[in-house]
Chain A
C-alpha cells in the first residue's frame, strides 16, 4: 500500500478505537467495545505492515511472539485481587516501549539523515516521549511494588523532596534543550535525559501512600497514553497521536473521579500532603475504651431477625479471599427473604472499580452492588451492616472532625444503621493511620477474626440455629 492508503486506513482504525472506548463505558456494550478495540489494534498492525516492504520479519516475529506469549500468560493466570498490579505493570511496559521507539528513531535518523537535517519539532517530540515514557515506567514499577506489598518498598518522605523533584525535572528540561541545540550529540543527551526521568519517576511515586493508589494508577494510565501520543509526534503518525490522547483523556477522567471520591485535590495526592494532624484528635486508646467484641453465634442471632442487611466490603475482604464466603452468606440470607445489598465506596480496593470486579468474580449479581450516594440514605432503615475489612471509608470522623486528615472525605454512613458488625483482625488503623470511633460506637460490635473464617462461622451458626 502507498503511504496515502496507509493513512486512510488508519482513519478506519481511529474510528474503531473511538467506538471501542465508547462501548467500554456501558455495561451492555462493554464486551463488544473491548473486542472492537482489539480488532482496531490488529488492523493497525496489519495496515502498518502492509505499508512498506522493508521490515525485518525475523525481528518482528520474535518480538510479537515473545510479547504475546508473555502478555497472554500474565493475563490468563492473574488473580483478580492482583489486577491493580497488573495494570500498573502494563502501563510501565507501554511507557518503556515509547522510550525505546523514540530512542531507536533518533538513532536511526542520526545515522541516516545526519544531525543537521533533524528539525527541532522532531527533537522536542523525542525528548517529550523519552521523559513521559521514563517517568511512566519507573513510576509504574514503584506503584507495582507498593501494591504487591514488596518488603523493600516503603513510603519514603524526606524534607526537600519536592525541591529534588523540581530539580530532576529541570535537569530533564535542560537535557532536552541540549538535544535540540546540539543534535550532533542527541543520542547521548537523550539517554542521559531518560536516566534522569527514570529517577524522577521513582521519587514522584515513592512518597504516595497506599490509600492514594487508585489515583496514582489512573494517572499513570493517562501518562502511558500521553507517552504514546508523544511518540506519535516523533514519527508524525496520526494514529499514535489520536489513540494516545484518547487514553490520556480517559485516564484523566478516572483520576478526577478518584480524587473527588476522596475529597482530595490532585496536587494534594501527588505531593503526599496527607499526614496525621499532630496533637489534635484522640489517641487510639481513648477512642477504643468501650469496644464490644462479639462472636459468630451472636452475629447469626442478629441476622436471624434482620429484615435488611448491607454488606460493606473493603480491601481486607480481598486479602482474606473472602468473596466466596460473602456470596454464600448472601445467598443464604436472600433465600430466607432478607434484603441484602452491598455498599461500595468509590475507592474501595486498590484501583477504580476494583471491588466490583472482585464481587463479580464471586458471582454476586451486580444489581446488588449499590453506589455510595444511593446506599447512604438507606442505612437508617438497615438492621445489620457487616463491614468486611474496611476502615477509613466508614470512619465517621471524616464528617465530624474538620482537623482530621480524612476530613471531608465522602464515607459510607454505616454508623446510622441499627447494628454494625465489623469483621477485622484487630483494631489496627487503616491507610490513613487514624483510629476509627465507629468501632467503639454503642451500636457497633467487633468480630476479631480472619474475614473468610468469620463469614463461614456465621453461616454455620445460622444453619445450626
Chain B
C-alpha cells in the first residue's frame, strides 16, 4: 500500500512538471552515495561506543541548523522569521547539547587509561 502511494505520488509529480529535474537527479545521487558511505564507515562498532555514537550522530543531525540559519533572512515575512528563529533555537539545542553530552560521556571512558 505504501509502495502504491509512493508510486502515485511519483507519477503525479512527473505529470505536474514533465519529469524530475537534473538537479534532483544529482541530489538523489549524492543522497544514495552518502547512505552507502554511512554504512561503510560504521560497520564494526564496539558496544561501549553505542551510546556515544548515537548521541554524537544525533548532534550531527542538527545540521538542519544550516537550513534554519538560511531560512530567516532580513526582509522575509514575519511568519517566516518566527519559524526560522524557532528552528534555529531547536537545532542549536540539538547541536550544542549533543556534542557536549557526548564529550562528557567519552571523558568517563578515558580517565581509566
> Which A residues form the contact surface with B (CB < 8 A)?
17-18, 20-22, 24-27, 30-31, 33-35, 37-38, 40-41, 44-45, 48-49, 52, 54-56, 59-60, 62-64, 66-68, 70-72, 74-76, 78, 80, 83, 86-87, 90-91, 93-94, 96-98, 100-101, 103-105, 107-108, 111, 119-121, 124, 166, 169-170, 173, 176-177, 180-181, 217-218, 221, 224-225, 227-229, 231-254, 257, 344, 346, 351-354, 356-357, 360-361, 363, 365-366, 369, 371
- A sample of 18 more A-B contacts (CB under 8 A), given A18-B41, A35-B103, is A21-B41, A34-B102, A44-B66, A54-B74, A70-B97, A74-B97, A87-B51, A90-B58, A108-B77, A173-B6, A221-B58, A221-B61, A242-B30, A247-B38, A249-B38, A250-B54, A254-B54, A352-B50
Residues of B within 8 A of A218 (CB): 54
Q: Assign chain B's interface to a size class.
A: 35 or more
Residues of A within 8 A of B5 (CB): 169-170, 173
From residue B98, how far is it (CB to closest CB) to chain A in Å? 5
A67 interface neighbour in B57, B58, B91, B112, Cβ under 8 Å: B91
Do A93 and B100 contact each other (CB < 8 Å), given the known contacts A227-B64, A365-B112? no
B67 interface neighbour in A24, A240, A353, A363, Cβ under 8 Å: A240
Chain B, range 40-95, C-beta contacts under 8 Å to A: 41-77, 79-81, 83-95
From residue A212, how far is it (CB to closest CB) to chain B in Å? 16
Nearest residue (CB) in B for A235 is B67
Do A34 and B58 contact each other (CB < 8 Å), given the known contacts A244-B63, A246-B38, A363-B111? no
Chain B, range 9-59, C-beta contacts under 8 Å to A: 9, 12-14, 16-17, 20-21, 23-24, 27, 30-31, 34-39, 41-59
Do A353 and B60 contact each other (CB < 8 Å), given the known contacts A93-B90, A180-B12, A241-B27? no
Report 11 cross-chain contacts, Cβ distance below 8 Å, ordered by A residue: A27-B109, A41-B95, A78-B101, A121-B17, A225-B57, A247-B38, A247-B61, A249-B37, A249-B42, A344-B47, A360-B112
Establish whether residues A166 and B1, one from each chain, have CB atoms under 8 Å apart when the complex forms. yes
Residues of B within 8 A of A107 (CB): 77, 79-80, 83
Establish whether residues B47 and A24, one from each chain, have CB atoms under 8 Å apart when the complex forms. no
Establish whether residues A70 and B93, one from each chain, have CB atoms under 8 Å apart when the complex forms. yes
Establish whether residues B65 and A357, one from each chain, have CB atoms under 8 Å apart when the complex forms. no
By secondary structure, the B interface counts as helix
Establish whether residues B48 and A366, one from each chain, have CB atoms under 8 Å apart when the complex forms. yes
Establish whether residues B96 and A111, one from each chain, have CB atoms under 8 Å apart when the complex forms. no
Closest 5 CB pairs of A and B: A249-B38, A67-B92, A353-B50, A63-B88, A71-B97
* Total A-B residue contacts, Cβ distance less than 8 Å: 400
B34 interface neighbour in A38, A49, A227, A242, Cβ under 8 Å: A242
CA of A10 to CA of B112, assembled, Å: 37
Establish whether residues A21 and B57, one from each chain, have CB atoms under 8 Å apart when the complex forms. yes
Establish whether residues A72 and B109, one from each chain, have CB atoms under 8 Å apart when the complex forms. no
From residue B14, how far is it (CB to closest CB) to chain A in Å? 8
Do A100 and B68 contact each other (CB < 8 Å), given the known contacts A38-B59, A62-B85? yes
Establish whether residues B48 and A27, one from each chain, have CB atoms under 8 Å apart when the complex forms. yes
Establish whether residues A100 and B84, one from each chain, have CB atoms under 8 Å apart when the complex forms. yes
Residues of A within 8 A of B24 (CB): 121, 233
CA of A98 to CA of B86, assembled, Å: 11
CA of A240 to CA of B64, assembled, Å: 7
Residues of A within 8 A of B60 (CB): 17, 20-21, 37, 40-41, 225, 243, 246-247
Establish whether residues A21 and B38, one from each chain, have CB atoms under 8 Å apart when the complex forms. yes
Do A30 and B106 contact each other (CB < 8 Å), given the known contacts A52-B73, A72-B96? yes
CA of A385 to CA of B31, assembled, Å: 48
Do A173 and B9 contact each other (CB < 8 Å), given the known contacts A97-B94, A248-B35? yes
Give the interface centre of B30, B88, B104 by most chain A CB atoms within 10 Å. Answer: B88
A236 interface neighbour in B12, B23, B38, B105, Cβ under 8 Å: B23
Nearest residue (CB) in B for A229 is B31
Establish whether residues B92 and A63, one from each chain, have CB atoms under 8 Å apart when the complex forms. yes
From residue B99, how far is it (CB to closest CB) to chain A in Å? 4
From residue A428, how far is it (CB to closest CB) to chain B in Å? 27
From residue A138, how far is it (CB to closest CB) to chain B in Å? 14
Residues of A within 8 A of B104 (CB): 75-76
From residue B47, how far is it (CB to closest CB) to chain A in Å? 5
CA of A101 to CA of B81, assembled, Å: 10
CA of A292 to CA of B5, assembled, Å: 58
B94 interface neighbour in A64, A94, A111, Cβ under 8 Å: A94
CA of A410 to CA of B98, assembled, Å: 31
Give the interface centre of B36, B43, B56 by most chain A CB atoms within 10 Å. Answer: B56
CA of A361 to CA of B23, assembled, Å: 48
Residues of B within 8 A of A365 (CB): 112
CA of A74 to CA of B97, assembled, Å: 7
A31 interface neighbour in B48, B50, B86, B103, Cβ under 8 Å: B103
Establish whether residues B76 and A21, one from each chain, have CB atoms under 8 Å apart when the complex forms. no
B51 interface neighbour in A59, A243, A351, Cβ under 8 Å: A351
Establish whether residues A64 and B92, one from each chain, have CB atoms under 8 Å apart when the complex forms. yes
Establish whether residues B64 and A231, one from each chain, have CB atoms under 8 Å apart when the complex forms. yes
From residue B82, how far is it (CB to closest CB) to chain A in Å? 8
From residue B8, how far is it (CB to closest CB) to chain A in Å? 7
Residues of A within 8 A of B63 (CB): 41, 44, 228, 239-240, 243-244
Residues of B within 8 A of A240 (CB): 63-64, 66-67
